[in-house]
Amino acid sequence: MAVEFKLPKIAEGVESGDVLEILVSVGDTLELEQEVMELETDKATIFVPSDVEGVITAITCDIGDTIAVGQVILSVEPAAASAAPVESAPAVPATPVAEKPVETVQEPVVPVAPVAPVAPVPPVAPVVSKPKTAPVETAPGKKVVVAAGPAIRRFAREVGVDLQTIQGSGEHGRIVREDVLKVVREGSRQGGSSAKSSSGSQSDGYGPIHVEKMPKIRQTIAKKMHESWTTCPRVTNFDDADVTALEEIRQNSKKEYAAGGIKLTSMPFLVKAVAMALKSHPVINASIDLEQGQIIYKDYVNVGIAIDTERGLVVPSLREADKLGIPDVARQLGQMADNVRSGNFSIDDLRGGTFTISNLGAIGGTYSTPIINTPETAILLVGRSRKLPVVVGDEVKIRLMMPLSLSYDHRLIDGGAAARFLNEVIGYLEAPSRLLLAL
């Protein structure tokens, strides 16, 4: 009797997801913990493992479907055949053992021995090898699961390339990024026939268009931005930090850090400065519960880092940033960026933040008005540092200035509190030795 495999509880607060890839086919033999599909939920892409085993008899969802926790996604026929031999095995030896000792002793005829090994051996090899390959070759009308990592699958979807049409050039035929790019380039030369939207050609009356389903991550971002904009009265303060001395320290230290596999940017200094300032300004590190009429002050400092990816903006949380030194912050920032861009992170990695930093300077631009990542009450955007003439004492000097934009929830944070917090952040950046000695 077939067993229904339902979408299990993925994570707290997650009730559904979009099917990105189905990694099995009808007729496949499913094992415990085998990954059956790739699912996009909130901002995380995960693989769903099986908690049943047997032969797949039906797949009840398709790529692009939104499925809910508890919804049936597979039907599996348990492998009952393996249980039968176990019960019959003891019965067979029981009868022969009683009568054959006497007869067997008298009939150790030599010719029988050569005949037995020769006949059974040839049939055994083909019978064992064929069942393993048959499901893949025979599965009618089903796509063969291709060898490609999550990041490559995602990239192929974004550029409209069907991985089933690609012969991988990586190890064991694995598809790599260059294989997908090759198809895109060929499609461009041929007028885009190899890489185009699955929706086909359309027109809006003014010219050709193509329509794609809004990715789950973009839907989530849209909802969060709308929630922030409609519930959080925002004010933004703009200022600059003189990071000339900080840059000198960074330049003198980056080779030593690089030798240890760490890329030293100005970001670890900024994260540390923000974390230390948050400890002194608890109202910036708080959230509001209007229903209960409460202010929730966080006694921990978790700094969210906005990371730009091919799929959209993702904000993992750097836990207890105030307790980390500059080398630890730099190391963890590098690991976080690598994990997020390769899709190797969980939903829990995106939770628990108390304040967010967005680094626009890595791309370009100076000031902006960042949207608060609710339920947090403030966010700091850093622009690209540039050299400016600055009055120092009675002289005009060229200094490296870092533009800062602090948006804050005016329901909780007044302008004076925001200015004092930003002044302390700037103070740390302009005297970086304080950061190196901070505990």
CA count, 13 A, side-chain hemisphere, 397: 9
Q: Using the Cα atoms of residue 225, residue 229, residue 232 and residue 236 in order, give the sign of their dihedral.
A: positive
Contact 324, 272 (CB under 8 A): yes
Contact 285, 304 (CB under 8 A): no
Instruction: Give exposure, 337-353, as e/b (b: 16+ Cβ within 10 Å).
Output: bebbbebebebebbbeb
User: Tokens standing for 44?
Assistant: 């995380």
User: Tokens standing for 293?
Assistant: 């009429």
Rounded Cα gap, residues 58 and 103, in angstroms? 53
Strand partners, 388: 399
- The runs of H, that is alpha helices, within 201-360 are 216-231, 244-259, 267-280, 326-342
In the block, residue with structure tokens 């790019």: 181
Rounded to the nearest 10 degrees, what angle do helices 415-430 and 267-280 cross at? 130
Rounded Cα gap, residues 302 and 319, in angstroms? 5
Burial zone of 113 (CB within 10 Å; 0-12 exposed, 13-18 middle, 19+ buried): exposed
Rounded Cα gap, residues 74 and 23, in angstroms? 12
Angstrom distances, CA of residue 283 to CA of 90, 377, 408, 409, 416: 74, 9, 11, 11, 12
Name 395's Cβ contacts closer than 8 Å, sequence gap at least 6. Answer: none
**Catalytic one among 210, 226, 281, 410?**
410
Read off φ and ψ for residue 27, nearest 5 degrees: 100, -15
Q: What letter represents residue 292's amino acid?
A: Q
Residue 210 annotated among the catalytic residues of the structure: no
Contact 210, 393 (CB under 8 A): no
Give, in degrees to the nearest 5, the angle at Cα 380 between 379 and 381.
125
Name the residues annotated as catalytic.
410
